[in-house]
Amino acid sequence: MAQNDDRRVAVLRAIVEDYVATREPVGSRALVERHALGVSPATIRNDMAALEDGGYIAQPHTSAGRVPTDKGYRLFVDRLDDIKPLSGPERRAIAAFLEDAVDLDDVVDRSVRLLAQLTHQVAVVQYPSLRRSALRHVELVAVGARHLLVVLITRTGRVEQRTVELEAPLDELVVTQLRARLNVAVAGRVLADLGTVREDLRQAFPPADRPLVDAVLAVVEETLALEGEERIVLAGTANLARGGSPDFGRSLGPVLEALEEQVVLLRLLSDMAEDEATVTVRIGRENQHEGLVETSFVTTGYGTGDGSAVARIGSVGPLRMDYPGTMAAVRAVARYLSRTLAG
């Protein structure tokens, strides 16, 4: 479709909006009655024929109406002028709901349930990645003559702890000095930055104490690099089944099975993180998983207020999705999630 063919895009937009609202194939008569497109019925029929020839709409079965295809939904999303903002009451409700969270687990749980309620679809929240999370504090606690507990606290509120076994007995004074110097060196840094502080930190201690420094830095880096710690939380799976699953031409089983495979969702989220768009939308076969070919996935990143994303949040629903509304809800919850973590 030519980029300057605004009229046919307007017809496609009207078809998408009507189909999302009614679940019924859309005919030219309905478009004339419901939308002020400013052209004759004959012109609309011609535009619909051109859209069908271009693969943007299709005729299901023997119905006189048309429904959008994956390609049509993609053009509709790409031509959205703006994402409509949520209402004032909706924004205030999101803020109030998330501000009462007591820790990271509670924040994630509240966010995923809230997004599922707003979209009436499946909500997905990825836990903050340790690899991309900046450190807030490192605590060192002697738990024996040769054992040291290393506690990592990230700016997202994630807490991880590991125990280090040392060859030589611990010196409490050296542990205290290392704790102080370590926090000055690594506060606000992510895994990729730690290599630059290692040698400076080692040189701050006499050779006899450097094995302790090396052991602690090694466990910090190893913990932050653990990909196995990546996980996601889902809510609203039952939303897909409401109404007898009319949006899925086959069994809902493959969709639910795909959603249960965290590896699949994590891979999709990782791929979508590379998109430069503020809100990323994958439609149908763009999801590159057979179980998700009849779904769309809307995601965006969230972080701690410094502009960098540490994980993603999103919504999975049928192709017949309220794309502007879903995109607005995902973006709004992500923003408040970021503010909550930054606070």
Reported as a single tens digit per residue, the pLDDT across 300-343 is 999 876 667 888 999 999 999 999 999 999 999 999 998 888 76
Average pLDDT, the chain: 88
Q: Are residues 267 and 186 in the same domain?
A: no
More confident residue, 189 or 299: 299
Q: Are residues 121 and 245 in the same domain?
A: yes
pLDDT at 250 over 90: no
How many other CB atoms are there within 10 angstroms of residue 56's CB atom? 26
Q: Are residues 169 and 31 in the same domain?
A: no
CA distance 339 to 304: 7
Which pLDDT does position 275 carry in this prediction?
A: 81
Which pLDDT does position 307 carry in this prediction?
A: 64
Instruction: Pick the last residue of a domain from 78, 100, 120.
Output: 78
Q: What is the mean predicted confidence (pLDDT) over 63-68? A: 85
Residue 245 lies in a domain: yes
Q: Are residues 162 and 115 in the same domain?
A: no
The separation between the first and the last C-alpha atoms of the chain, rounded to the nearest angstrom, is 47
**Lowest-confidence segment of 66-75, 137-146, 238-247 by average pLDDT:** 238-247
Residue 1 lies in a domain: no
What does the block give as tokens for 32?
């004339």
pLDDT at 4 over 50: no
Q: How many helices (H) and strands (E) does the chain have?
A: 12, 10
pLDDT at 229 over 70: no
How does residue 270 score in pLDDT terms, banded at 50, 70 and 90? confident
Q: Could you tell me if 63 and 309 are in contact, meaning their C-beta atoms sit under 8 angstroms apart?
A: no
Instruction: Pick the last residue of a domain from 58, 78, 98.
Output: 78
Residue 27 lies in a domain: yes
Which pLDDT does position 194 carry in this prediction?
A: 85
What's 32's domain CATH number? Answer: 1.10.10.10
Dump pLDDT digits (tens) for 252-267. Answer: 888 888 888 888 898 8
Q: What is the mean predicted confidence (pLDDT) over 99-126? A: 91
Q: Are residues 142 and 177 in the same domain?
A: yes
Q: Are residues 119 and 29 in the same domain?
A: no
Residue 286 lies in a domain: yes
Instruction: Pick the last residue of a domain from 206, 227, 248.
Output: 227
How does residue 225 score in pLDDT terms, banded at 50, 70 and 90? confident
More confident residue, 199 or 230: 199
Apex 59 CA angle, 53 and 61, nearest 5: 145
DSSP annotation of 4: T
Domain that holds residue 45: 6-78
Residues forming a β-bridge with 153: 137, 159
Q: Are residues 270 and 338 in the same domain?
A: yes
Residue 83 lies in a domain: no
Residue 54 lies in a domain: yes
Q: Are residues 103 and 245 in the same domain?
A: yes
**Lowest-confidence segment of 28-37, 54-63, 216-225, 227-236 by average pLDDT:** 227-236
Q: What is the mean predicted confidence (pLDDT) over 205-220? A: 92
More confident residue, 77 or 250: 77
pLDDT at 132 over 60: yes
The continuous run of DSSP H or E covering 152 comes out as strand 147-154
CA distance 107 to 112: 9
What's 214's domain CATH number? Answer: 3.30.390.60
Q: What percent of the chain has pLDDT over 90?
A: 50
Residue 40 lies in a domain: yes
What's 286's domain CATH number? Answer: 3.30.450.40
Which pLDDT does position 3 carry in this prediction?
A: 41
Which pLDDT does position 49 carry in this prediction?
A: 93
Bridging pattern class, strands 67-68 and 309-318: unpaired
Residue 174 lies in a domain: yes
Q: Are residues 328 and 245 in the same domain?
A: yes
CA distance 149 to 58: 62
Which pLDDT does position 279 carry in this prediction?
A: 92
Give the position of tokens 């990546």.
Answer: 230
Q: Could you tell me if 152 and 160 are in contact, meaning their C-beta atoms sit under 8 angstroms apart?
A: yes
Q: What is the mean predicted confidence (pLDDT) over 109-135? A: 90
pLDDT at 1 over 70: no
Dump pLDDT digits (tens) for 134-180. Answer: 898 999 999 989 999 999 998 888 888 999 999 889 999 999 999 99
Q: What is the mean predicted confidence (pLDDT) over 258-284? A: 88
Which pLDDT does position 163 carry in this prediction?
A: 93
Q: Count the domains in the chain.
A: 3
* Cβ within 8 Å of residue 49, ≥6 positions away: none
Q: What is the mean predicted confidence (pLDDT) over 68-90? A: 88
Q: Are residues 12 and 145 in the same domain?
A: no
pLDDT at 83 over 90: no
Radius of gyration of the chain (CA): 26
Which pLDDT does position 36 carry in this prediction?
A: 85
What does the block give as tokens for 302?
């969230």
More confident residue, 196 or 152: 152
Q: Are residues 239 and 223 in the same domain?
A: no
Q: Are residues 236 and 330 in the same domain?
A: yes
